[in-house]
Amino acid sequence: MKLGIFTVLFGNMPFSEMLDHVAKAGVDTVEIGTGGYPGGAHCDRAGLLASPDKRKAFLDEISSRGLSISALSCHCNPLHPDATKRELAQRELRETIELAALLGVDTVNTFSGCPGESEHSQNPVWVTCPWPEEFSQVLDWQWNEKVIPYWTEMNAFLKERGVRVAIEAHPGFVVYNAETMIRLRQACGEQIGVNFDPSHMFWQGIDPVEAIHALAQHNAIFHVHAKDTGFNRHNVAVNGVLDTKPYAKEKERSWIFRTVGYGHDSQTWVDIISALQLAGYEGAVSIEHEDSLMSIEEGFQKAVDFLKPLIIREKLQQMWWA
């Protein structure tokens, strides 16, 4: 495994300065945003698609610092019921896949998307319970009429270009846990796997280690994010974990995203890294910072300091077993 960073954290830095900064911190690989929700601060997608010279210069900037690209990321909603938003998301995602193929990057991270409840919807509708029965009918319609047809077509598009897509399982989208990820992969094709983010598992009450074991049985783990979740036990005791309050209201929420090690202890993360190792995963563990109690720089440095010994330990174990 390699220690990585999702570079949108440092979107305010020039590309070269950002690469110098993360390389100096001891990161091995970079995950680069190309559009969608994270944007593309370090990626001129149109320019890189059009120019072999720009692509070479882009790759040289990265490799000259001893870094590699773990993935291109275009987190978006390609199933949005609003036609304008949907068409933009689908175009950005397809262009990102085309760019990945040209750059020799095998993985593109994104979301599964979420449709509305009918052809007349204006906004996505995420179904979380089976009753009243209309909810189950909506869920069946979403999967059969929107999700499976789109991702079956995309699986063929990906296969033609030698690229795979890593779906970040995230509540609010149709793929949000291991079960829905496996359903999508089985229905649509093997170019589709998961960008596994433990933080999204924690707050749903999912054991990330068990989820890794389930996904590994389907060879579905393509990329990994490193982010934690912290709980306010008093708010959880009163309100549970379904929480729609803004993330900035930390004192009122049941949970918030945290830097790794500030939601769960080192043993938990050792178990996660070990489960990935047993699953045969050799890719990036890519730091993603969304901790509202820390600055970007503080969260990044603490995550590097926390994860680096775990990654080194995993490499030493592999050498010992070999």
The answer to whether residues 93 and 108 touch, using CB atoms and an 8 Å cutoff, is yes
Closest CA to 4 of 288, 312, 318: 288
The answer to whether residues 111 and 79 touch, using CB atoms and an 8 Å cutoff, is no
Locate tokens 């009163």: which residue?
238
Q: Which domains, and CATH codes, for the chain?
A: 2-321 (3.20.20.150)
Residue 148 is predicted with a pLDDT of 98
Q: Tell me the per-residue pLDDT of 63-119, one tens digit each, with 9 for 90 and over.
A: 999 999 999 999 999 999 999 999 999 999 999 999 999 999 999 999 999 999 999
Q: Between vectors from CA 147 to CA 143 and to CA 149, what angle results, nearest 5°?
A: 105
Residue 321 is predicted with a pLDDT of 47
Which stretch of DSSP H or E encloses residue 223?
Answer: strand 221-226
**pLDDT grade, residue 317 (50/70/90)?**
low
Asked whether the whole model's pTM tops 0.85, one would answer yes
Residue 31 is predicted with a pLDDT of 98
Residue 313 is predicted with a pLDDT of 60
Q: What percent of the chain has pLDDT over 70?
A: 97
Residue 319 is predicted with a pLDDT of 45
Report CA torsion sign: 248, 251, 254, 260: positive
Closest CA to 125 of 134, 169, 201, 165: 134
Whether 318 has a pLDDT exceeding 60, the answer reads no
Residue 139 is predicted with a pLDDT of 98
Tokens standing for residue 258: 């945290």
CA distances from 101 to 38, 64, 225 (A): 21, 21, 22
C-alpha span between 304 and 233 (Å, rounded): 27
Burial of 21 from C-beta contacts in 10 A (0-12 / 13-18 / 19+): middle
Residue 256 is predicted with a pLDDT of 98
Q: Tell me the per-residue pLDDT of 208-226, one tens digit each, with 9 for 90 and over.
A: 999 999 999 999 999 999 9
Q: Tell me the per-residue pLDDT of 163-205, one tens digit each, with 9 for 90 and over.
A: 999 999 999 999 999 999 999 999 999 999 999 999 999 999 9
Three-state secondary structure call for residue 183: helix
Residue 269 is predicted with a pLDDT of 97
Whether 56 has a pLDDT exceeding 50, the answer reads yes
Mean pLDDT, residues 304-317: 79
Whether 314 has a pLDDT exceeding 70, the answer reads no
- To the nearest 10 degrees (0 to 180), the angle between helices 52-63 and 15-25 is 30
C-alpha span between 87 and 266 (Å, rounded): 43
Pairing of strands 107-110, 164-168: parallel
C-alpha span between 107 and 263 (Å, rounded): 28
Strand partners, 73: 33, 109
Q: What percent of the chain has pLDDT over 90?
A: 96
Residue 141 is predicted with a pLDDT of 98
Mean pLDDT of the chain: 96
Burial of 161 from C-beta contacts in 10 A (0-12 / 13-18 / 19+): middle
